Amino acid sequence: MFYKLRQTLKKYFTLYIFTLLILINIYLPYNFEIGMIWKKLHVNSLIGFQKSIEQTTKYLNIGLDIWSYFIFPSLNISLLNIIILIWVVIFSINIKKK
């Protein structure tokens, strides 16, 4: 009986983990965003990163505000969403190998 359960869990382990991550993402009352975590760990490096991005766009004479349109929205992404995305990519690669 336990052998069959173990084989079933082994077979559908990826599906269980993926479902668990989605449920945690839905029911977690507070989402941990990448920018918030970075700010709590080391705020000066975040400010320095923003300054370097802005100086680079001025130096390259790019008319697009890269920080506001690309970097800042990516810092507001939930950490669990990124984990789920990575898990889906790994799962897809494993399916492709089989």
Q: At what angle do helices 13-27 and 79-97 cross, to 10 degrees?
A: 160
**Tens digit of pLDDT for each residue in 40-86?**
889 999 999 999 998 988 888 888 888 889 999 999 988 878 888 88
The domain locations on the chain are: 2-97
CA atoms within 13 A on the CB side of 35: 12
pTM: 0.60
